[in-house]
Amino acid sequence: MKPTLLILLLTAGATSGVAAQERIYRCGNEYTNTVTEAQAKTCKLISGGNVTVVQGQKPSGGGGGVKVASAPSSTPSSAPRIDSADQRAKDSDARLILEAELKKAEARQLELQKEYNNGEPEKLGPEARNHQKYLDRVAELKASLARNESDIAGIRRELGRLPAATVKQ
């Protein structure tokens, strides 16, 4: 009996939304259900299909109709502005961080190249008896070298995108 009551309530709620649908007029990118406003602006009546209008702020003038303004601009006026000095400081910090990362990556590259030894690294203890372990380690070293090279290239690209460092006088 409880599921029947639930279905009844859901059906009643769904049909009440359809019955409350009024005539909706489109005025460019705005929608309204106020007839006088629609006539004043020469709006077109929307017919067929359901129209879903998300309510925005109520207009300051009377009328009482549903009115939705056009989409908000991409940069709202309340967006924080970054001072140019702050931006330069952030760019300088980013440059310092990237330069430190580049030094680490270059040092790692030298270590990997030394260990790789042009594709013939020294065999470690268990690799003397198991050649496949040696080959796996050589392949892993080669992949690490390639990955580290691409990391270095990426860091250099990022450094190139930053504005040139300003020299204090």
Range of the domain at 61: 23-68
* Number of residues that this document lists for the chain: 169
Number of domains in the chain: 2
Q: Which of 39, 68, 97 is the last residue of a domain?
A: 68
106 and 153 share one domain: yes
| Residue 133 one-letter amino acid | K
Same domain, 96 and 31: no
The reported pLDDT for the residue numbered 8 is 45
CA atoms of 123 and 131, how far apart (whole Å): 9
The pLDDT assigned to 44 comes to: 83
- Does the pTM surpass 0.75? The reply is no
Q: Are residues 27 and 89 in the same domain?
A: no
pLDDT at 66: 55
Digitized pLDDT (tens) for each residue of the chain, 169 residues in all: 455 544 544 454 444 444 455 778 888 878 788 888 888 888 888 876 566 666 677 666 555 555 555 555 555 667 778 888 888 999 999 999 999 999 999 999 999 999 999 989 999 988 889 999 999 999 999 999 999 999 999 999 999 998 886 655 4
Considering the domain architecture, whether residues 90 and 144 belong to the same structural domain is answered as: yes
Do 117 and 151 belong to one domain? yes
